[in-house]
Structure 1
Amino acid sequence: MNTAMTDKPIVYDPSDSATMADPFPIYARLREEDPVHWSPSLKSWIISRYTDVRDLLLSDHLSVRRLMQFYSSLPPQDAALLSDIVKYLDLWLAFRDPPDHTRVRRILRHAFTPKAVDAMRPGIEEIVHHLLDQLEERQADRIDLIREFALLVPAYVIMDMLEVPREMLAEFKSWSDDMAVFIGGARNADDKYHRAARGCQKMSSYFREIINERSANPRPGFLMDLINARDEGDQLTEDELVATCILILFAGHETTTNLIGNASLLLLRHPDQLAALRADPALIDGAIEEVLRHDGPTNALVRVVAQDHEIEGRKLREGERVFVMINSANRDPRIFEDPDRFDIRRNPNRHLTFGQGIHVCLGARLAREEGRVAVLELIKRFPDLALDDEPPEWLDAMVPRGTRRLPVRLRG
């Protein structure tokens, strides 16, 4: 290792374009030199080693209820602007601790059973084949794989689940993007509070209307299952239903878009692994798990310190913000042999991408299913698929990890 490089203090700057494109060298330094790193620019702790990340996700020392602390510190004008979005986000499972989290998750599990997700597979396959048919009919070879495929697959799946007409995609994408600059930790977004407030207001109004309409005129479907979901007689309030619909649409399409995009990019950058998958499609399960580990769609999870404690000799104090770096933990050589190698046959593969403990992702099974179908059918349909000369454009965000644009050539 270059001694001159290690003599320099570590500066983790997620807004730096080089770090956005490839954060893994700085993650390696953090793990070795400063695994519990205080970032002055983020005013947050950065936790990078696998064991520390896993243990924190399982512990009571951290809380997910960071929104109200942030909200109470805002100037009155900003607080008024963000009142609606904070109200709904505070009802998301992702931002609730027990006992509220326990109650809501127990109800929601009745709508997210393995049987319910398995029943969605024909719909996922229909959407994927429809989109690939459209790409095949195009004359142009060069496309943005995110905008024309990876984004559309999960967006249509979620919209169909929630009975949102597909022709409303542009509106919902606009609303979701407005919220994403606030929720995803965008570092360079202008006017993000106004955009977030607008996106939330539009989305919450839409879902409140459709929930009221479906309650008055019941018919079978996922939305009706959500409305009717009960556990020991308890059910979601109307505000909780609206918040859950927003969460499913927002988190459900963003995470899976990044999974499909990252999988395509990794396979195209590793032609030996792509050839192995084409020769043996049964490797798709392992391929998706390795994408989730090697460069997964969740870069970090955010928590707040609930009680003072120490990690690696550093004192974390109540109220301080913590980024647990999932993508760094998933490359920790203490856990994974040759962690920087992309290997779709890797076994075991105990990645942390969907979280741990009570906050493990409720939609993980659906995301995996969409990723498997989309990636396998894409490489089957376009055997000469290749990266374009134009480089990918990465998201400017701390939490999600993926490309905003992924230029490819369909026919090599």
Structure 2
Amino acid sequence: MSTSTIDRLNPFIAEVTSDPYKFYRLYREQDPVHWGVSSNPNLSGAWYVFRYEDVVKVMEDRRFGREFLKRDDVETTPVPTAYSTFLTMVSKWIVFREPPDHTRLKSLVSKAFTPKVVENLRPSVYQIADMLLDKVQSRGEMDLVEEYAFPLPIMVIAIMLGANPHDYPLFRKWALALQNASASRLKPPPEIYENAEKASQDFIDYFKPIIADRRANPQEDLISNLVKAADEGDKLTDEEIVATCTHLLTAGHETTVNLIAKGTLALLQHPDQFKLLRSHPEFIPNAVEEFIRYDTPIQMVTRWSYADNEIGGQLIKRGDSVGIMLGSANRDPARFKNPEVFDIQREDVKHCGFGAGIHYCLGTILARAEGQIAINVLLNRLPELHLVNQNIDWANNIIFHGPNHLPVAFRKPVMG
């Protein structure tokens, strides 16, 4: 264990999630491989790594993995075994699988996220962004999370899957139920898991008829492609197809929600950078990378140690849980010059916000495109955009880190 006298970090409390960066600085400097509080009440603790070098090392080292490790002494499943529908669903998500299952699933799904596919989707993303702003423009105000950052990526993924994009209010309700129960948190109340159990069944009931329809009437969408792969002997079950669709509509899109919301927030809190981007829209691709580095959409990911390892002078034993602090790594002064400065013209923006190794996010190309388009449309459509409230309502979630709500206002169009 760590011999440091520094307090044990509990990254799941509101004091940390509302302003994680001051904690990152402290631990990065004083105890960069830290034995802190685990989100799993059955574990005596968990390791947290804060430096860029160590973060990348753990993500790329195959001695660390996502698939939960069975231990004789404690229950290590991602959710309590009593909630069987939810547990089965989560256990089939790509993000919680290791080779060979991870390789098989990722190779099938990644075909939907190639540069060519994403390029062909761009007109649809623009159309959705404009449609969402058409609904609010005459009001002169909106909740940027609820009315823009959330519906945009979830509608895009629905289109890719072959689901009805206008069902996104249902997807949002079910996705939030799964997210609240699957993201690391301390002893959530039973209703959190009960809601996730029901949402898992709702997703199954929603997608099973679509899968059956695509088997009889194939179309040009991801569900049809997954059904075709299953029927051609690719060892893909209908349960895995449902789980994959659910994963993409929940954890798979949340990165983009927080990218849009926190990227807009960073611009509004740095008026000089906002003004610069308005006058130089060609900086938008680089600005999106700086959004991800400066205030990382997913602050932490986890791994299990599959063997005894040494990281930063600390022995991490087989069966230990490791929290990889992406948000800290992206502000490590050993890696980035002036890391606390938000600079949309930053030349070195090789962040680790999308992960590394075999679990590198397969939707990065789409997330970048959505972020670029969402910001571009905001800049073009909403003059005098500003925050309504400087006190940000942060979700108490260190993994899917972002504001619950982001009220903004802007100049209404002049009516002719």
Q: CA deviation at 1:135?
A: 1.4
Q: CA deviation at 1:170?
A: 2.2
Length-normalised TM-score, structure 1: 0.91
Cα offsets for 1:158-214 (capped at 9, x unmatched): 122223324422222111111011112244743222122111111122112211111
| Secondary structure in 1 matching 2:81 | helix
Which moved further from structure 2: 307-316 or 13-22?
13-22
Q: CA deviation at 1:321?
A: 1.0
Report the counterpart of residue 53 of structure 1 in structure 2.
55
CA contact (8 A) 1:53 1:329 kept: yes
When residues 261 and 175 of structure 1 are mapped into structure 2, their CA distance, relative to the original with a 3 A threshold, is same
In the alignment, the residues of structure 1 paired with residue 5 and residue 213 of structure 2 have an alpha-carbon distance, to the nearest angstrom, of 60
Matches for 1:352-391 after TM superposition, within 5 Å: 352-389=352-389, 391=391
Matches for 1:111-126 after TM superposition, within 5 Å: 111-126=112-127
CA contact (8 A) 2:8 2:35 kept: no
Q: CA deviation at 1:302?
A: 0.8
Report the counterpart of residue 3 of structure 1 in structure 2.
none
Q: CA deviation at 1:16?
A: 3.7
| Secondary structure in 1 matching 2:226 | helix
Report the counterpart of residue 93 of structure 2 in structure 1.
92
Structure 2: which 5+ runs fail to align? 40-44
Report the counterpart of residue 175 of structure 1 in structure 2.
174
In the alignment, the residues of structure 2 paired with residue 211 and residue 49 of structure 1 have an alpha-carbon distance, to the nearest angstrom, of 44
Report the counterpart of residue 32 of structure 1 in structure 2.
29
In the alignment, the residues of structure 2 paired with residue 244 and residue 70 of structure 1 have an alpha-carbon distance, to the nearest angstrom, of 30
| Secondary structure in 2 matching 1:399 | coil
Which moved further from structure 2: 163-172 or 120-129?
163-172
CA contact (8 A) 1:392 1:407 kept: no
In the alignment, the residues of structure 1 paired with residue 177 and residue 71 of structure 2 have an alpha-carbon distance, to the nearest angstrom, of 22
In the alignment, the residues of structure 2 paired with residue 231 and residue 325 of structure 1 have an alpha-carbon distance, to the nearest angstrom, of 40
CA contact (8 A) 2:394 2:403 kept: yes
Q: CA deviation at 1:8?
A: 7.6
CA contact (8 A) 1:71 1:79 kept: no
Q: CA deviation at 1:257?
A: 0.8
- Give the % identical residues: 37
When residues 365 and 323 of structure 1 are mapped into structure 2, their CA distance, relative to the original with a 3 A threshold, is same
In the alignment, the residues of structure 1 paired with residue 229 and residue 256 of structure 2 have an alpha-carbon distance, to the nearest angstrom, of 25
- 1:17 and 2:14 correspond: yes
Q: CA deviation at 1:256?
A: 0.9
Cα offsets for 1:272-314 (capped at 9, x unmatched): 1111111110100010000010101110111111111111221
RMSD of aligned C-alpha atoms? 2.5
Structure 1: which 5+ runs fail to align? 1-6
CA contact (8 A) 1:111 1:229 kept: no
When residues 53 and 203 of structure 1 are mapped into structure 2, their CA distance, relative to the original with a 3 A threshold, is same
CA contact (8 A) 1:386 1:408 kept: yes
| Secondary structure in 1 matching 2:135 | helix
CA contact (8 A) 1:308 1:317 kept: yes
Choose the corresponding residue for 1:62, options 61, 64, 67.
64
Report the counterpart of residue 393 of structure 1 in structure 2.
393
When residues 341 and 98 of structure 1 are mapped into structure 2, their CA distance, relative to the original with a 3 A threshold, is same
Amino acid at match of 1:60: R
In the alignment, the residues of structure 2 paired with residue 366 and residue 195 of structure 1 have an alpha-carbon distance, to the nearest angstrom, of 29
Cα offsets for 1:343-383 (capped at 9, x unmatched): 11111211001111111111111111111000111122112
Report the counterpart of residue 299 of structure 1 in structure 2.
299
Matches for 1:336-351 after TM superposition, within 5 Å: 336-351=336-351
Q: CA deviation at 1:264?
A: 0.6
Which moved further from structure 2: 120-129 or 168-177?
168-177
Matches for 1:10-409 after TM superposition, within 5 Å: 10-40=7-37, 42=39, 43-66=45-68, 73=75, 78-80=80-82, 82-138=83-139, 141-187=140-186, 189-190=188-189, 191-229=191-229, 234=234, 236-389=236-389, 391-409=391-409
In the alignment, the residues of structure 1 paired with residue 137 and residue 168 of structure 2 have an alpha-carbon distance, to the nearest angstrom, of 22
Q: CA deviation at 1:243?
A: 1.2
| Secondary structure in 2 matching 1:341 | coil
Amino acid at match of 2:164: P
| Secondary structure in 2 matching 1:276 | helix
Length-normalised TM-score, structure 2: 0.90
